[in-house]
Amino acid sequence: MYDRQDLTFQLFDVAKLDHLLAHPRFDALDRSAIEGFLDAADHIAETAEPLAARLDETPPTYRDGKVDMLPEAQSAFDALREAGLIGGPLPETYGGLGLPETVHQALAFVLSAANIGLTAHGMLTLGAARLIESFGTTAQKEKYLPPLAEGRFTGTMCLSEPHAGSSLADITTKAIPQEDGSYKIIGRKMWISGGDHELSENIIHLLLAKIPGGPEGIKGISLFIVPKKRVDDEGGVGERNDVALAGLNHKMGYKGITNCALNFGENEACIGELVGEPHNGLRYMFQMMNEARVAVGLGAAALGQSGYQASLAYAKERPQGRHPDEKTPGSGQIPIIEHADIRRLLLAQKAAVEPALALGLFCAILLDRIELGEETAETDALLLDFLTPIAKSWPSEFCLEANKHAIQVLGGAGYTKDYPVERLYRDNRLNPIHEGTHGIQGQDLLGRKVTIKGGAAAQAFVAAVTADLKRPTDDKDIAAFQESLKQALDRFGQTTMAILGKTQEVGVRRMLSNATLYLDFTGHLVMAWMWLRICLAAEEVRRNEGDSDFLKGKVQAARYFFNRELPRTKGWAETLSSLEDSAFAMQADWF
């Protein structure tokens, strides 16, 4: 479930999709075409949403080395394929629709809100295709992109291994060069989403491995295409390629897509193709990771949105209790949305899920502008680099919190399988873990993004926020938001300098020890900025079309965020600036 009115407002009024569509490459696309795609996604979501509950109840199982899945999953996946929604942003030459990333992400948001597992198959397939599109040879593109774009093949990312999850430097999967230029792959991969199933004709694994004799650690990692079934040069699917499903992980949620342990080359008959240059695999993978991480954040926002809508609908319908000052005996019960604390639980959700969507779309617009090679592409790339860990992790953490609130609105009913909110809470718990844990994102932000290119990314961020601080407004609430955000931005600058300034004195280990808190701190600032952008857009709509309940709700939810959430950054700034060390100084034996 999601709010179509909000999504179109966010796309056209906040993210200004029209500006992007004005580019000649998108001549064929206008607002009504986009609405048509959204209709198509809505249509698929109608069937996909009840299926999500059924797949949760009856998840895929492992039987005789194969994945057994509810047959309805096949028809839902086929519907997705047939609507062209898998390879949407790929070029038309390769069977895609040439959609802007922003439109694709909006469609993925609709589908994720209905069924995150199903949508994940599409996300992974597109991710695999993009790696080949960016770094593969023409022959590889011609061979693999059309069936991936079509969803006839699906894709995976094979990074982790049983002993190497977050620490990719330690992978041991080998790729041994063969005389014909191919590589023999030997190793075990773990946590592979969509790693095996029967939904597609073939599965194309994009796999990290080490070519023996290469550099140690991450500098010796290369990227390979490893199909489940061999593909001949004409694209024909042949025999199995010695990739074996070793087992399925049994997860607490996100059950609509398998998560697999895979063995490559048990019989020394697994063949892979190198992508790009040897030893550059991690760099390639990370280039693609920006998109994947933004997509994870949008998925988290979609799950949050879905829980928000479900709990909102319930709160409007369910009568229970009375106001505390209602003393009339026999007075009727009121809908729970009338209780202040239920409104808080709803508003807290709205205040989290809407700016999370705004940030995802903001990042998607940046991706599109970079892709189009717009004048601002260099700054856009810096800004995107800076925002990516936040776009991934803030929704993963705080839209999960929103799902917790959704359960609370429903009370006992929310704890049962009669409503979707408990499932959404379980589904969303994955998001702070995969595609780089919350902690890893913090290290990325404070340990890399803040300092790269002499702080240029952080400066691009400050400049972008400052531009919105200067936008004129006639609304005194919005002017107050600008003032609060300005103070928070100053706090961000001071805190960042305070931390970095102590590196010399305390060492990098301690400097980075509160990086996760720094991530949340910066994330809250970014979300306040997104609320400002939403409110400025709302003001513009109000000026043109008059006020409405919809627009009033935006300003009120922003008030909630500025009054209740943004002030948390004050305490966090103190903790961060002092390099508070209770966790750092804790010893393993003291636990």
For the annotated catalytic residues, the residue numbers are 435
Contact (Cβ atoms closer than 8 angstroms) between residue 474 and residue 397: no
Enumerate residues 561-590 that contact a second copy by CB under 8 A.
563-564, 567-568, 570-571, 574-575, 580, 582-590
The single residue among 217, 484, 498, 502 that binds a second copy, judged by CB under 8 A, is 217
- Per CB under 8 A, the list member of 22, 28, 252, 497 interacting with a second copy is 252
CB of 531 to a second copy, least distance (A): 12
- Kindly state the number of chain residues that form the binding site for a second copy, as judged by CB under 8 A: 101
Residues 334-353 that bind a second copy (CB under 8 A): 335, 337-344, 346-347, 350
Q: Rounded to the nearest 5 degrees, what angle is found at the Cα of 124, between the Cα atoms of 189 and 93?
A: 130
Burial class (CB in 10 A: 0-12, 13-18, 19+), 508: exposed
- Total residue length of the chain: 591
Give whichever of 302 and 346 is closer to a second copy, judged by the CB atom. Answer: 346
**Of 292 and 384, which has the nearer Cβ to a second copy?**
292
CB of 494 to a second copy, least distance (A): 18
Among 26, 144, 191, 284, binds a second copy (CB under 8 A): 191
Nearer CB in complex with a second copy: 143/524 = 524
CB atoms near residue 295 (< 10 Å): 29
Helix residue ranges per DSSP H, 502-560: 503-506, 508-511, 515-545, 549-560
CB hemisphere CA count around 572 (13 angstroms): 21
Which one, 143 or 423, has the nearer CB to a second copy?
A: 423
H or E stretch at 438: helix 438-444
* Binding string, residues 123-162; x marks residues near a second copy by CB under 8 A: -------------------------------------x--
Instruction: Give least dist CB 242 to a second copy, A.
Output: 25
Binding window for a second copy (CB under 8 A); candidates: 33-41, 109-117, 503-511, 534-542: 503-511
Check binding of 553 to a second copy (CB under 8 A). Answer: yes
Interaction between residue 439 and a second copy (CB under 8 A): yes
Site string for a second copy, 393-432 (x = CB under 8 A): -----------x--xx--xx-xxxxx---xx-xx--xx-x
547 forms part of the interface with a second copy (CB under 8 A): no
Between strands 202-210 and 153-158, the pairing is: parallel
Cα angle: 141, vertex 435, 147; to 5 degrees: 25
Task: Write out the binding residues for a second copy, residues 68-107 only, by CB under 8 A.
Answer: none
What is the closest distance, in whole angstroms, from the C-beta atom of residue 442 to a second copy in the complex? 7
| Alpha carbons 477 and 465: distance in angstroms, whole number | 18
CA angle centred on 205, ends 199 and 208, rounded to 5°: 155
What is the closest distance, in whole angstroms, from the C-beta atom of residue 250 to a second copy in the complex? Answer: 4
Contacts of 412 by beta carbon, 8 Å cutoff, 6+ apart: none
Interface with a second copy (CB under 8 A), residue from 5, 167, 466, 487: 167
- What residues numbered 442-481 form the site for a second copy, per CB under 8 A? 442-443, 447
198 with 190: CB under 8 angstroms?
no
Give the span between the Cα atoms of 191 and 410, in whole angstroms. 33
- Residue choice 46, 92, 170, 378 for contact with a second copy (CB under 8 A): 170
Place of tokens 């499932």: 423
DSSP string covering 111-158: HHHH-HHHHHHHHHHHHHHHHHHHHS-HHHHHHHHHHHHHTSEEEEEE
Site for a second copy, residues 276 to 315, rule: CB under 8 A: 312
Site string for a second copy, 314-333 (x = CB under 8 A): --x--xxxxxxx---xx--x
* Contact stretch for a second copy (CB under 8 A) within 120-128, 165-173, 286-294, 479-487: 165-173
Residue with smaller CB distance to a second copy, 244 or 407: 407
CB 396 → a second copy: shortest distance, Å? 11
User: DSSP states of 35-91 as a string?
Assistant: HHHHHHHHHHHHHHHHHHHHHHHS--EEETTEEE--HHHHHHHHHHHHTT-SSTTS-
Q: Around Cβ 234, how many Cβ atoms within 10 Å?
A: 6
Choose, by CB under 8 A, the member of 1, 269, 377, 433 that binds a second copy. 433
Comparing CB distances to a second copy, the nearer of 22 and 583 is 583
576 token code pair:
């961060």
Q: How far is the CB of 281 from a second copy (least distance, A)?
A: 18
Candidates 33, 53, 164, 176; binder of a second copy (CB under 8 A) is 164
**How far is 201 from 367, CA to CA, in rounded Å?**
31
Among 437, 451, 459, 484, the residue binding a second copy under the rule CB under 8 A is 437
- The span from the CA of 102 to the CA of 363, in Å, is 8
